[in-house]
A and B are shown apart, each in its own frame.
Chain A
Amino acid sequence: MKQKIVAKGLHKIFGRSPDIAMEMLRKGRHKDEIFKETGMVVGVQDANFAVNEGEIFVIMGLSGSGKSTLIRLLNRLIEPTAGQILVDGQDVATMSKAQLVALRRRDMAMVFQSFALLPHLTVLDNAAFGLEVAGVGRKERERRALEVLDEVGLKAFAAKRPAELSGGMQQRVGLARALAVDPSLMLMDEAFSALDPLKRTEMQELLLTLQKEHKRTIIFVSHDLDEAFRIGNRIAIMEGGRVVQIGSPDEILRNPADDYVRAFFKGVDVKRYLTAKDVALPDEVLVMEAPADLNAGFESAIGRLRQMRRNYGFVVDKERRVLGTVSIDSMLRCLAEGRTTLEQALLDDIPAVPGDTRMTELISNIVRNPYPLPIIDGERRYLGAVTQTILLRNMAQETANV
């Protein structure tokens, strides 16, 4: 996968003589010590990450963790003290002013927490702002602005002023303004944080829909775990100016790097973010390949199940694709009736569950069916089983962890 933007050893120090603070950092001094001795603030310390093309990369952290500073270093709204920012291999940190202006017009757009629309312009002119600055003619930029306003559902409001719109609608204009320049990279700073929860979800949906239609590289700053997990392909967690962990939502959830990361999940219903494949265990239930000789196969399966004190087993084909579930009873019935076909033995009310099913859905499923459920991937291949016991054990564990 192509890397769109790469940060290498990125630092930002606020204060009179950043060189001194940088030297202290290099000697391994802590940022608190540096602040105490020199009064200088280490805003971002040694940030390293790479964002792939077409990915939504969420930078998450509590307020004061440096996430807003970090995103502003990427387009040099804030000048970095040290390090590199490579956009398509070009170092933004060493660009001339003219190059930087060209890059901002062509490749990067930003959406702000407080919307930052220009109150003296109409919605249409706000959406066309980036194009106007870049010198696009009136006709062409208004056509394009109307197009993006349509995409965000605000075409009818083009002649209004921002102050006449609700917060959610204003941020749609903010989004349209960014989309209008068709940037390859979008920076979104707490873009939905000022909206009420309902509007926030709506905007997240909109962003995901837009992303489905046209994949852009998006860097999204958020303090909201819910939001990060919903929209993020990968998440970077920041603490005290440093990136402490980068990974997919699953990786971070299952392997928090430290107590700080773990603390994020405190009070959050983590189960909601787990999926079936996260809790499924591969060896909990007997798995057998569909036997060639059904009679012999069933008899040996019954024996093994009794030995394991289990009632149910899964049947898979040669590629380990799940065919269905059998029980001791269903197999005995088949043997007794002497009509041994595999279909006869399969319990037809036990569904195979896709691996990305959310826990909440899985729980309601398990409550309805007291059998083990086979969990499958996109090609129906067996991933593992979920039973009531496994589920309960998982929930108990989550509570203990927190």
Chain B
Amino acid sequence: MSEFLPIGEWADQAVNFLLENDSGTFGALGTFVGSLTELVEQALMFIPSWVLAVVLTALAFRRVGWRFALFCAAAVVVIIGTGFWNATMATLALVISATLISLMVGVPLGIWTAKSRLAAYFVRPSLDFMQTMPAFVYLIPAAMLFGLGKVPGVLATVIFAMPPVVRLTSLGIRQVNSEQLEAGVTFGCTPWQLLFKVQIPGALPSIMAGINQTIMMALSMVIIASMVGAGGLGNDVLTSISRLDIGLGFESGLAVVLLAIIVDRMTESFGVARPTKA
């Protein structure tokens, strides 16, 4: 079989080129991501598990309702009882740092694509690429550029999880009621005032939905990221696969599911609690 388009070779060369000509940017980026993740994890580990459990349950009661609060309490008991608390917190720390970075980049990018056709022209296909390229593939260059550990895991997660928040921010900004925009302009808003006083508040429900989606995608990706040594629940899942250990697989998998449900409902509640009707 003769291949006349050695795209794979080019990608390989591109990554090697980056490696050889790196003047410290990857190092700096790695340090930043690494310390952020470390900080979040330290904070989560520092808080005793029962305190976090109580706070979580109380929050669930306030934001969602007593049934969900009950579910949260039960879920925490299951996670602690199966001995996965520390691994779950490590995973949560990865998710939180990956989400924070995704939002720092994704929200401005979404606003920019909403305002500039040129930006949309370039960003949209990139988002398609980021979302559909099999998630494992990011891990290879990430590991080569940043070594093994949490940093490549978080960065691969960022790439995989960022598209929803970009898309939904952009959509939200574009869908702000045109008379509300006119009202903003009429009363003498500068473009920045219009953005912060009318467009972003108007787009907030959509942005919150995007954040929720980003968090859920990050959660699924950090499990896969354990392949490059990101740690957390993913490690246990990975071990269970290599050992064909059904018990370990089920327990660690269950912890992932419980974490996902809690995170999803919680972030969703922050989205709908805002008054969205005009």
Q: Which residues of A contact B (CB under 8 A)?
A: 72, 75, 77, 101-102, 104-105, 108-110, 112-121, 129-130, 132-134, 161-163, 177, 181, 187
Contacts and interface: CB of A to CB of B under 8 A. Distances in A.
A121 B186 CA distance: 17
Interface stretch (B103-111, B138-146, B197-205, B260-268): B197-205
Given A116-B179, A119-B275, A133-B197, A110 B186 contact: yes
A97 to B, nearest CB: 9
- Which 8 A-B residue pairings sit nearest by Cβ, starting from the closest? A105-B188, A116-B179, A104-B188, A116-B183, A130-B187, A110-B186, A120-B201, A119-B278
Interface residues of B, number: 23
Interface in B169-210: 177, 179-180, 182-190, 193, 197-198, 201-202, 204
Contacts of A105: 187-188
A351 to B, nearest CB: 50
15 contacts: A101-B190, A102-B188, A104-B186, A108-B186, A110-B186, A117-B278, A118-B183, A119-B277, A120-B201, A129-B187, A132-B197, A133-B184, A133-B188, A134-B187, A163-B277
Among A77, A112, A120, A132, the one with the most B-chain Cβ atoms within 10 Å of its Cβ is A120
A130 B275 contact: no
A104 B185 contact: yes
A110 B188 contact: no
B179 A134 contact: no
B75 to A, nearest CB: 33
Contacts of A162: 278
A116 B178 CA distance: 9
A161 B275 contact: yes
B276 interface: yes
A118 B194 CA distance: 12
Contacts of B189: 101, 133
B115 interface: no
Contacts of A187: 186
Q: Interface majority SS on B: helix, strand, loop or mixed?
A: helix
Contact of B188 (A101, A121, A163): A101
Contact of B274 (A120, A129, A177): A120
Contacts of A113: 179
Nearest to B181: A116
A114 B189 CA distance: 19
A224 to B, nearest CB: 19
Among B183, B197, B202, the one with the most A-chain Cβ atoms within 10 Å of its Cβ is B183
B277 to A, nearest CB: 5
A111 to B, nearest CB: 9
Contacts of A163: 275, 277-278
Given A120-B201, A120-B204, A109 B186 contact: yes
Given A104-B188, A163-B278, A110 B201 contact: no
A101 B197 CA distance: 16
A131 to B, nearest CB: 9
Given A119-B202, A120-B275, A129-B197, 8 more contacts: A104-B185, A113-B179, A116-B183, A117-B183, A118-B202, A119-B278, A120-B274, A130-B187
